């Protein structure tokens, strides 16, 4: 299957053949994490944990079920999730007095507890996170990692004394995002969502969107400022220095298994998956090229190379299966292993190792005496190349328009799409007119960007805001 001919089918095939997940489980949209896919997800989670721990967040684990009475305390929040939640209404033979919601997200599970935990200004800031599965009844066509009904994700929740301190938290979240996405070699747009598209209950939402090679955007995460929108209904207050009781200001930041979906879609090619070295379960595969000449020696050198690289902290697989090398190459290429080392009798004579890069297909040799340093350099360069390549694709898809008539007509998923950038006065009326006329969804305005002098694409009023719009995955 060719990636640029039918992206959707190519994506499904890669997920299957690389054995990332098994969607034959008898509930639609609830897939089995098979070992290889789960290993990659755990690597991604380890970077999330690293960043959250380094910024003083504590990991917690809240119950999966939320009483209806707590779930319904914030009215916008319920409206936003009502059609998506799974309910538990029976236990054994008994109807429950209070029906339970299977968490679609954990605000309403956590905030009743926050109101017990927070007493004084000394309890602030409160910064916690959890990495759990959430459940949303997705009615559109499901797709592994991208649109599922059981979602593996992390969510951080923070409480602060003031709105400004909560705002600082958002800046910290953006720094963490930068570090996590760097490991995945994923570029992204950071866009303040429109008021009609923000998270239910949020003061504002910053969406994190990456671009798939078919030009459709994929939201891989989001950051929200809640102000006191939840702390008022959940009565989360603290006593300040003057003995006055005040409501806390809250934020959340979350990303999901869509990160893995983005890695598959953005980096993969017609030969299969291409994994960024930081998240590859095996960064290097060592393949012995056995000939009649000195087969024992070749295998011994392969073992030695594997041991040295492993000892130096790399994840290495020695493939000594009794198969043709070509069949092994095919296998590991499909699974996206970033670097392949091949060692034969002639290489050993010359004190060299042959390598092949998964990202560019480039082949060459490295000197056995500088093994670790050379391999390290190659892995870093693979990361750099993957990121630059993805950034080029993302930038090349942005098309500036000054009138709605310039927006290309809606295409189906097999065709190349574009991302539109245009002036917008910011009014909801013009926003809706734009979406209805062009069929593109407004993703928002660049978060923290400098003002740009422009004209609204709908009403032609002078503006200083540009907006982005796209078709979404
Ligand atoms: Zn306008």
What single string gives the DSSP state of each residue in 26-74?
SSTT--EE-HHHHHHHHHHHHHHHHHHHHTTPEE----SEEEHHHHTSS
* HSE of 154, CA atoms in CB hemisphere, 13 A: 25
What is the SS3 assignment for 11-23? HHHHHHHCCCEEC
What DSSP state is assigned to residue 235? T
- Give distance in angstroms: CA of 434 to centre of ligand 1: 9
- Give distance in angstroms: CA of 462 to centre of ligand 1: 8
- Give distance in angstroms: CA of 464 to centre of ligand 1: 12
- Give distance in angstroms: CA of 460 to centre of ligand 1: 6
- Give distance in angstroms: CA of 446 to centre of ligand 1: 17
- Give distance in angstroms: CA of 467 to centre of ligand 1: 11
- Give distance in angstroms: CA of 171 to centre of ligand 1: 29
Strand partners, 134: 151
Sorted by sequence, the CB contacts under 8 Å of residue 455 that are 6+ apart come out as 402, 423, 461, 462, 463
In the block, residue with structure tokens 């955007």: 217
- Give distance in angstroms: CA of 437 to centre of ligand 1: 14
Sign of CA dihedral 382, 39, 10, 415: negative
What DSSP state is assigned to residue 162? S
- Give distance in angstroms: CA of 442 to centre of ligand 1: 13
pLDDT given at position 413: 56
- Give distance in angstroms: CA of 195 to centre of ligand 1: 15
Question: Could you count the other beta carbons within 10 Å of the beta carbon of residue 444?
Answer: 25
In the block, residue with structure tokens 């609204």: 456
Q: For each of the chain's 473 residues, which pLDDT tens digit applies?
A: 788 888 999 999 999 999 999 999 999 999 999 999 999 999 999 999 999 999 999 999 999 999 999 999 887 777 778 889 999 999 999 999 999 999 999 999 999 999 999 999 999 999 999 999 999 998 888 999 999 999 999 999 999 999 999 999 999 999 999 999 999 999 999 999 999 999 888 999 999 999 998 899 999 999 999 999 999 999 999 999 999 999 999 999 999 999 999 999 999 999 999 999 999 999 999 999 998 878 899 999 999 999 999 999 999 999 999 999 999 999 999 999 999 999 999 999 999 999 999 999 999 999 999 999 999 999 999 999 999 999 999 999 999 999 999 998 866 655 678 999 999 999 999 999 999 999 999 999 999 999 999 999 999 999 999 999 999 98
Sorted by sequence, the CB contacts under 8 Å of residue 394 that are 6+ apart come out as 187, 189, 210, 211
Q: Which helix (H) or strand (E) holds 102?
A: strand 94-102
Give the rounded distance of the alpha carbon of 277 from its chain centre. Answer: 16
Angle at 438 between CA 437 and CA 443, to 5 degrees: 115
- Give distance in angstroms: CA of 454 to centre of ligand 1: 11
CB 334 within 8 A of CB 17: yes
Strand partners, 462: 455
- Give distance in angstroms: CA of 439 to centre of ligand 1: 17
* 429 φ/ψ angles, rounded to the nearest 5 degrees: -60, -50
- Give distance in angstroms: CA of 311 to centre of ligand 1: 61
- Give distance in angstroms: CA of 436 to centre of ligand 1: 14
- Give distance in angstroms: CA of 412 to centre of ligand 1: 28
The domain covering 7-267 belongs, at the CATH homologous superfamily level, to Bira Bifunctional Protein; Domain 2 (3.30.930.10)
- Give distance in angstroms: CA of 212 to centre of ligand 1: 29
Helix count and strand count (H, E) for the chain: 12, 25
- Give distance in angstroms: CA of 472 to centre of ligand 1: 23
- Give distance in angstroms: CA of 341 to centre of ligand 1: 58
- Give distance in angstroms: CA of 428 to centre of ligand 1: 8
The per-residue DSSP string of 373-421 comes to HHHHHHHHHHHHHHHHHHHHHHHHTEEE-SSGGGSPPP--TTS---EEE
- Give distance in angstroms: CA of 186 to centre of ligand 1: 33
Residue 25 CA to residue 464 CA, distance in Å, equals: 50
- Give distance in angstroms: CA of 204 to centre of ligand 1: 21
- Give distance in angstroms: CA of 121 to centre of ligand 1: 44
- Give distance in angstroms: CA of 194 to centre of ligand 1: 14
Task: Sort strands 462-463 and 419-423 into parallel, antiparallel or unpaired.
Answer: unpaired
Task: List the structure tokens of 326.
Answer: 């070509």
- Give distance in angstroms: CA of 226 to centre of ligand 1: 27
- Give distance in angstroms: CA of 211 to centre of ligand 1: 26
Task: List the structure tokens of 337.
Answer: 């292993």
* 255 φ/ψ angles, rounded to the nearest 5 degrees: -140, 160
CA distance between the termini of the chain = 19
CB 355 within 8 A of CB 337: no
- Give distance in angstroms: CA of 445 to centre of ligand 1: 14
pLDDT given at position 417: 85
Residue 161 CA to residue 121 CA, distance in Å, equals: 7
Confirm whether 277-385 and 398-470 share one CATH topology. Answer: no
- Give distance in angstroms: CA of 139 to centre of ligand 1: 33
CATH entry 3.30.110.30 includes domain 398-470: yes
- Give distance in angstroms: CA of 424 to centre of ligand 1: 6
- Give distance in angstroms: CA of 411 to centre of ligand 1: 26
Query: Which class in CATH covers the domain with range 277-385?
Result: alpha beta
What DSSP state is assigned to residue 117? H
CB 105 within 8 A of CB 81: yes
pLDDT given at position 277: 98
Question: Strand runs (DSSP E) across 166-308, as ranges?
Answer: 189-192, 204-211, 217-227, 237-239, 245-247, 249-256, 284-289
Q: Domain spans of the chain?
A: 7-267, 277-385, 398-470
- Give distance in angstroms: CA of 217 to centre of ligand 1: 24
- Give distance in angstroms: CA of 473 to centre of ligand 1: 27
CA distance to 125, 177, 179, per residue, from 250 (Å): 10, 18, 23
- Give distance in angstroms: CA of 208 to centre of ligand 1: 25
């Amino acid at each position: 299957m060719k990636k640029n001919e039918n992206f959707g089918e190519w994506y499904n095939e890669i997920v299957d053949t690389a054995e990332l997940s098994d969607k034959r489980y008898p509930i639609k949209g609830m897939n089995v994490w098979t070992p290889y896919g789960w290993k990659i997800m755990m690597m991604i989670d380890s970077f999330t944990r690293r960043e959250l721990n380094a910024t003083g967040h504590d990991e917690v684990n809240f119950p999966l079920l939320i009483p209806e009475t707590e779930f319904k305390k914030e009215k916008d929040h319920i409206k936003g999730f009502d059609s998506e939640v799974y309910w538990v209404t029976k236990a054994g033979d008994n109807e429950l007095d209070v029906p339970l919601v299977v968490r679609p997200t954990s605000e309403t599970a956590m905030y009743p507890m926050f109101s017990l935990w927070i007493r004084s200004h000394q309890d602030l800031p409160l910064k916690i996170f959890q990495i759990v599965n959430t459940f949303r009844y997705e009615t559109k066509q499901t797709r592994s990692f991208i649109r599922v009904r059981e979602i593996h994700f992390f969510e951080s929740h923070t409480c602060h004394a003031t709105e400004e301190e909560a705002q600082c938290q958002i800046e910290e979240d953006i720094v963490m995002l930068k570090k996590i996405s760097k490991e995945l070699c994923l570029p992204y747009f950071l866009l303040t969502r429109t008021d009609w598209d923000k998270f239910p209950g949020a003061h504002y939402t910053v969406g994190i969107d990456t671009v798939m090679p078919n030009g459709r955007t994929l939201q891989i995460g989001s950051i929200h400022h809640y102000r006191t929108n939840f702390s008022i209904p959940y009565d989360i207050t603290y006593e300040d220095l003057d003995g006055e009781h005040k409501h806390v200001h809250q934020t959340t930041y979350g990303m999901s298994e869509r990160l893995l979906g983005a890695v598959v879609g953005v980096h993969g090619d017609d030969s299969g998956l291409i994994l960024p070295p930081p998240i590859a379960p095996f960064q290097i595969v060592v393949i012995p090229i056995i000939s009649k000449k000195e087969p024992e020696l070749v295998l011994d050198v392969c073992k030695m190379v594997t041991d040295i690289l492993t000892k130096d902290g790399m994840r290495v697989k020695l493939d000594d299966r009794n198969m043709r090398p070509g069949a092994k190459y095919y296998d590991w290429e499909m699974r996206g292993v970033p670097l392949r080392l091949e060692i034969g009798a002639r290489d050993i004579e010359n004190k060299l190792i042959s390598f092949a890069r998964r990202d560019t297909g480039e082949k060459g040799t490295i000197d056995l005496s500088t093994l670790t340093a050379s391999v390290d350099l190659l892995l870093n360069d693979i990361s750099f190349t993957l990121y630059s390549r993805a950034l080029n694709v993302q930038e090349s898809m942005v098309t500036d328009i000054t009138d709605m008539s310039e927006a290309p007509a809606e295409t189906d998923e097999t065709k190349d799409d574009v991302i539109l950038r245009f002036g917008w006065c910011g009014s909801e009326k013009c926003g809706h007119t734009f979406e209805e006329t062009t069929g593109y969804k407004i993703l928002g305005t660049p978060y923290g960007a400098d003002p740009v002098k422009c004209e609204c694409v709908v009403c032609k009023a002078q503006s200083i805001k540009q907006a982005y719009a796209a078709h979404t995955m």
